[in-house]
Structure 1
Amino acid sequence: MAFGVDCFLSLAFVTPPSCRSVFAANALTSGVVYDVCLREGGGRNVEGEGVCKDIGRLEVDLFNPSLSDSSSRIFPLLGKPLDRNHYETMTRIPSLYVAFMSLRLRCVSDSQARPCPERPRRGPSIYTGMNSTTTDMDKELEKMESEMSRPPSQASKLSPSPLPSDTDDLKPQRSTIKAITMVLVMTLMMFVNTGNTTSVSITLPAIGREFQADPSLLQWIMAAYPLSSGCLLLVCGRLADLYGRKKAYLIGTTLLAAFTLSCGFANNVLTLIILRGFQGIGAAATIPASLGILADSFPPGRSRSLAFATFAAGAPIGAAFGSAAGGALTEQTSKTWRSSFYLFAAVNVLCFIGGLLSIDNGRKWKYEDNDAAGARRVDWLGAFLISAALVLILFVLGEGETAQKQWATSYIIALLVVGVLLVGVFIWWQWYLEKVQNHRPQEGNGTWNNRLPPPLMKLSLWARAKGRFAAVIAIVFLTWSSYMAWTFWVQLYFQNYVGLTPLQTVVRLFPLFVAGTLCDAFVGIMANHVSMIVITTMGTLGTSIACLLFAIVDPKVTYWAYCFPAVVLSVMGVELVYTAGTLYIAKISLPHEQSLAGALFQTMAQIGTSAGITISTVIFNRITSNLAEGEDQLRSYRAAQWTCCAFGLTSMVLSLIVFRGVGVPGQKKSITINPAERAIEEKAGGEV
């Protein structure tokens, strides 16, 4: 067995000019970029997968120069193809050991390998071999020593990298004003997303009167927007990661502005429903892109915590503004309900202009020519499978209780079965693509087989951080099921049971929006000081108590006894879980997965919303059908709220179980994402 190259690093490394294949490893603590030349004249690196074209495997050691060679190996990684996880492992090694260790990478091959020339090392030296003479090596060392005195930002530009052009710790430099502007623009986008929903909900009666529409059609004006956005989030998240988040954001805001304006000119209900569906496509593009932009622009720490908290605050503020503006414009303007669409179209234009001026271009993933096509291909079959499955499932959840025979209706049963089967096929297809990607063969000419695209969603992502990624997604599902169903039934309780007008209902729910904004401010400040388990438990407990208060509410008692504390506590779940959850997801996701991970988060929240409302509606209808003639319907409303409370308590218990020992969500310390990294962090005494 021979060695293609054997490299030792301590503080910096400058690659020879002839080196064409470069592997970049970051020192997270020092900000220095280490460039290790693996092999002259080739190499392959697609998002960190594979290194040297003609080399069988890669050996990675942590190397202590003060120990003998036989005892210096501390962390071996032998006989494994270098995939993205191994790349991330290497980037974290220097952050743990750079003070007293060196990193040794060795390409191993049985043939056509050229050993490094021997050279005495001087202390914790920098050593390399690239078929150079001793004189060349002396000159190279002198050059490296002179470059080491330069600032890291200059040293990092000495050699190109086939991995991200901007490394994790070397974010694009921007002014404070530009950074604040970017966060505010992303927040405005979240503001628009929720405002588009609440403004329409309050104008539905006016729309129905103008078009003399059937109530069953009116609900689709509301449902078309979240249905289309929820089904396309995963696809749009992958495309944003692949082709650029800024580009995805700008395309999404353009679609939103165009179709929001078009909604204001709709002349019948069917046209309005179709246009609302196209609106949702714009939202599906912007929300994952926004999450990816924030995660990519701010490193873990206080700045990221504040950015995500501010972004989350856009939801309650947008919901409050949408309800108030929708009601006021409908009553006070000649265009009635159309005015709210014109207003939000104008706000979308502001989002586009702000994004164009403030968002960085972000990372550009560079690939070797012989694998560029395979890396940048999109799994369109997977995109079709999951989109079709979500359309069917969300449709069934929305129609199950209103169909002629409810859940016994034949087409409801058929569509549900087909939707579940499509989910199963999608999971198998993603597993197969990931398996092929991890063991992708080479063609006879030395290029890699690119006949199959990378998976749309790697199933290994769900096992990230000891399975806590999947746990966060489950908590999101349960929390949104609880809160959104609670909101749905509270509005019906106030209007249909108590007899309040829509405007009076908005006034009674207004503390919810204020409390949501305060919760976001709290978690933005405390995300670097309070553990994940405390934040999520507080949030889910607050929502559970709110549901409990309405499950035992007495209509004869003053609003301040039951309703006000419930309204204040209810929003704690979604706001605290959203901010802490997105921070945690961003931290355990790789740089090229940020938008996809955010899309998974949003998709599960969307499905949770539909599931919570559907299940609680089933309970409500069953209780109502068993009521005697003329019996008070309060019992049905209470039963629905008990269902919401069960969702909230389940999410709280899950938080207590899975987040034991987890640190603060805004911490800078890296998160274990695979067994190799877990071993390193355990040696360092770290805790995920």
Structure 2
Amino acid sequence: MSAVATTTISEAIPLEPYDAKHTPIPHKSTIASTPRTPSQAQSSISNFGTPDDERSIALAQTPPPPLSKSRLFLTIFQPSLINFFFSFTNGVITVGLPLIARDVHLPRSLYLWPSSVYGLTSGSMLLIAGAIADIIGVRGFEIFGVTFLGIFTVACGLANTGIQLVVFRAMQGFGTAIHLPSSVALVAAAVPSGKARNIGFACLGLSQPLGFSVGLVASGIMVETIGWRAAFYIAGGAKLVAAAVAFWALPKVKRNADTSGRSVWKQIGTDVDWIGGLIASGGLALLSYVLAVLSADLSTIRSAGTASLLAVSLVLLLAFPFWMRIQERAGRPALIPNSIWKNFPFTSTCIMVALSYGVMNAVEIFSSLYFQEVQSVSTQTTSLYLLPNLITGVLINLSVGIFVDRIPAKWLVSSSAIICAASPLMMALVPPSWKYWYLQFWAQIFAPFSGDVLFTVGLIIVSDNFPEKTQALAGAVFNTVAQFGSSLGIGVCQVVALGVMGDSGSVGHGGGTETAFDDDPTALLNGYRAAFWTMFGYMIICAVIAVVGLRKAGKVGLKKE
């Protein structure tokens, strides 16, 4: 599935190492909309500079020799391949969901759980995983994560009950949470800045829609021939092979030096903001869980348990910035320093990524349900109907990686958001009796524009806002926003759809049955149209944020000297 803002990098000041006990504040000069004098730049970093002895050690270190072109290729190809295969399984879930659910006896009220629980677990663990990866080394952590991911991908194919499938998909999410920040850090550390790194980030992005598109087609064929389980066996086996090859293929990225002589476990215990990670992850996970529960039955909002979980999630999310402030004042590591949110392009990027990824994934899922349950299209035909969406996504990612440094990000992001907004608008207006080629084809073409443009643009700006030694955390921040946005988008759209279906007399709206979707095509159509209108509203908001938040931003992805 998915399973991804601008900055001007003119007159950028190289990032200096800092004490691990100090907060990893990014240098604002890398995102300044206007050039600053050297004195101003020096002043901006004086508050979190390093001790003289550590600075001397850092300056004395010689950079590693550049990688050969073949090693650079493998460094980009290996994590992109993993992205391809975890997106492949997401594509299988999206199209094959009705048949898979019947095979494992998954209640219709839990239809979206194999997709949403994956985003919930991966999104909730990304920040902690990114912080740990920066300490213990991204190469080893990546290999461990890919191995873990491969094991539970195979396990999904072995699932015999709906509960087993949901649990194994949740474990897949944990493996993905380890892989995603590590892959970003590997590319950032091994690939030089400029066009090469832009293409590297773009490949991480394009591999996901490419894998998803292959998963769509393969699912339509496998479900009706050799069975859906074979898709998980193939994907899981490929991940395990890739993990073995990674021992040779991936470069040895130097682990962050610790001058105090502490062991790795000691650093993990003291240099990771565990409390901040638990607060943020717990708040996001609980909120996503509540949305998933509500997507099954809106009447649960009146239960004491659901209301309590919702209240706890909001309290945790509101407590996070206060904890960051306490950590910064005490000179202890802060997971995501509050000061970073003062950078308007960065904050705008995170909001837009969340909105765009929510819409991108919701369009895919609700289009699949629309084709199969409203228009009564077969699984294989549905996969072909969704294929233009993914092919367009691949082309967009590749194009953005090549040309992102030539077009001002303000126009790149805002125009892509407007184009993307046309997709749910068409799906909301098209009569079910119309042929696919009239509007639905174009809706699938326009759907990935915003999310895929923002993957490369957003990853560049987030990476530029974090020091080199915390690039895994940078990748974790980006992917946390994307994963949470995906879960939030799907959950909110499903809640809206259920609410409208309930107004239309849907038995699944607190009716005491296991059915979250009414079999009446009219009720389904009204609910799905309401969901598409919600997506349209999201993209209009995204376009406005792009114009306002990036108004002073220039081009991103420029080479740093």
User: TM-score under structure 1 normalisation?
Assistant: 0.70
Q: Which residue of 2 aligns with 1:414?
A: 308
Which amino acid is 1:410 matched to? A
Identify the range of structure 1 (266-275 vs 183-192) with the bigger mean alpha-carbon deviation: 266-275
Question: What is the CA-CA distance between 1:479 and the residue it aligns to?
Answer: 1.1
1:201 to 94, 101, 121: 94
Deviates more, 1:177-186 or 1:221-230: 221-230
Structure-2 residue corresponding to 1:75: 39
RMSD: 3.3
Report the alpha carbon displacement of residue 82 of structure 1 after superposing the two structures with TM: 4.9
4+ long deviations beyond 4 Å: 47-50, 76-84, 164-167, 370-376, 628-631
Structure-2 separation of matches of 1:521 and 1:536: 16
- The aligned counterpart of 2:6 is none
> What is residue 644 of structure 1 aligned with on the other side?
535
Question: How far is 1:172 from its partner?
Answer: 4.2
1:254 and 1:352 in contact (8 A); partners too: yes
Paired amino acid for 1:361: K
The reply on whether 1:660 has 2:558 as its aligned counterpart is no
* Structure showing the higher helix proportion among its residues: 2
- CA distance in structure 2 between the aligned counterparts of 1:513 and 1:479, rounded to whole angstroms: 15
Name 1:297's counterpart in structure 2.
190
Separation of aligned partners in 2, 1:404 and 1:80: 49
Find the counterpart in structure 2 of residue 184 from structure 1: 77
Match of 1:46 among 4, 12, 19: 19
The Cα shift of 1:404 comes to: 6.6
Check if 1:547 corresponds to 2:424.
Answer: yes
Equivalent residue pairs, number: 522
Query: Could you say what secondary structure the match of 1:361 adopts?
Result: coil
Alpha-carbon distance between aligned partners in 2 of 1:208 and 1:276, rounded to the nearest angstrom:
13
**1:576-655 maps to which residues of 2 (within 5 A)?**
576-627=453-504, 632-633=522-523, 634-655=525-546
**1:457 to 2:457 alignment:** no
Which amino acid counterpart does residue 534 of structure 2 have in structure 1? T
Task: Summarize the Cα distance change of 1:262–1:175 in structure 2 as closer, same or farther, 3 Å threshold.
Answer: same
Residues 195-594 of structure 1 mapped to structure 2, 5 A cutoff: 195-333=88-226, 336-369=227-260, 377-403=271-297, 405-437=299-331, 454-463=333-342, 466-594=343-471
Determine if contact 1:165/1:365 at 8 Å carries over to the other structure.
Answer: no
Of 535-544 and 399-408, deviating more is: 399-408
Q: Counterparts of 2:538 and 2:89 in 1: how far apart (Å)? A: 26
User: How far did residue 79 of structure 1 move?
Assistant: 10
CA contact (8 A) 1:326 1:340 kept: yes
Structure-2 separation of matches of 1:549 and 1:308: 31
If each structure's strand is expressed as a fraction of its own residues, which one has the higher value? 1
- 1-structure distance, mates of 2:157, 2:495: 34
* Partner residue in 2 for 1:138: none
Any conservation in 2 of the 1:164–1:363 contact (CA below 8 Å)?
A: no
Letter aligned with residue 39 of structure 2? F
Q: Could you state the TM-score of these two structures normalised by the residue count of structure 2?
A: 0.84
Matched-pair contact (CA < 8 Å) for 2:113–2:292:
no
TM-superposed deviation, 1:250: 0.7
Q: Secondary structure at the match of 2:58?
A: coil
CA distance in 2, matches of 1:527, 1:79: 31
Task: Say if 1:182 and 1:355, in contact at 8 Å, map to a contact too.
Answer: no
What's the CA shift for 1:398?
0.7
Shift of 1:462: 2.3
Distance between the aligned counterparts of 2:15 and 2:179, measured in 1? 35
Farther off after superposition, 406-415 or 466-475: 406-415
Q: Deviations over 1:333-392 (max 9, x none)?
A: 2xx232122101111023313432232222332233278856853222223222222221
Shift of 1:83: 5.1
Task: Give, in angstroms, the shift of residue 655 of structure 1.
Answer: 0.6
Is 1:163 equivalent to 2:58 in the alignment? yes
- Write the distance in 2 (CA, Å) between the matches of 1:635 and 1:606: 27
Q: Deviations over 1:563-612 (max 9, x none)?
A: 11111111111111111111121122211222212212111222222222
Deviations 1:496-525 (A, max 9, x none): 111111211111111111111110121011
What are the ranges of 5 or more consecutive residues in structure 2 without an aligned counterpart? Answer: 1-9, 24-36, 507-519
Structure index of larger Rg: 1
* CA offsets 1:14-51 (integer angstroms, 9 cap, x no match): xxxxxxxxxxxxxx99x9x999xxxxxxxx9625969x
In 1, the alpha carbon distance for the partners of 2:38 and 2:293 equals 59
Distance 1:77 1:496 in 2: 58
State the distance in 2 between where 1:592 and 1:74 align. 23
For residues 628 and 278 of structure 1, do their structure 2 counterparts lie closer, same or farther at Cα, with a shift above 3 Å needed?
closer
Deviation at 1:229, TM superposition (A): 0.8
Q: Specify the SS of the correspondent of 2:192.
A: coil
Paired with 1:541 and 1:188, the residues of 2 have a C-alpha distance of 31
Asked if the contact 1:330–1:337 (Cα under 8 Å) also holds between the matched residues in 2, the reply is yes
CA drift at 1:76: 8.0
Structure 1: distance between partners of 2:380 and 2:355: 29
Contact 2:217-2:384 at 8 Å conserved across structures: no
The separation in 1 between residues aligned to 2:152 and 2:483, in whole angstroms, is 21
How far residue 217 of structure 1 moved from its aligned partner, in angstroms, is: 4.5
Matches of 1:332 and 1:365 in 2, distance apart?
A: 50
How many Å separate the matches in 1 of 2:246 and 2:59?
22
Deviation of 1:180 (Å): 1.0
Q: Deviations over 1:122-142 (max 9, x none)?
A: xxxxxxxxxxxxxxxxxxxxx
Q: Structure 1 residues 374, 83: closer, same or farther in 2, change over 3 A?
A: farther
Deviation at 1:77, TM superposition (A): 9.1
User: Given that residues 181 and 354 in structure 1 are in contact (C-alpha distance below 8 angstroms), is that contact kept between their aligned partners in structure 2?
Assistant: no
1:253 CA drift (Å): 0.5
Alignment partner of 1:565: what SS? helix
Q: 1:609 to 1:652 in 2, by over 3 A?
A: same
Matched letter for residue 304 of structure 1? R
Q: Is the 8 A contact 2:119 2:484 kept in 1?
A: no
Change (3 A) 1:209 1:636: closer
Deviation larger for 203-212 or 589-598: 203-212
- Give secondary structure in 1 for the equivalent of 2:170: helix
Q: Deviations over 1:244-295 (max 9, x none)?
A: 1112111100101122223333343333322222221110000111111112
The structural deviation recorded for 1:645 is: 0.7
Displacement of 1:559: 2.0
Structure 1, unpaired ranges of 5+: 1-27, 36-43, 51-72, 88-104, 108-158, 438-452, 671-688
- Separation in structure 2 between the aligned mates of residue 77 and residue 648 of structure 1, nearest angstrom: 36
What's the counterpart of residue 132 of structure 1? none
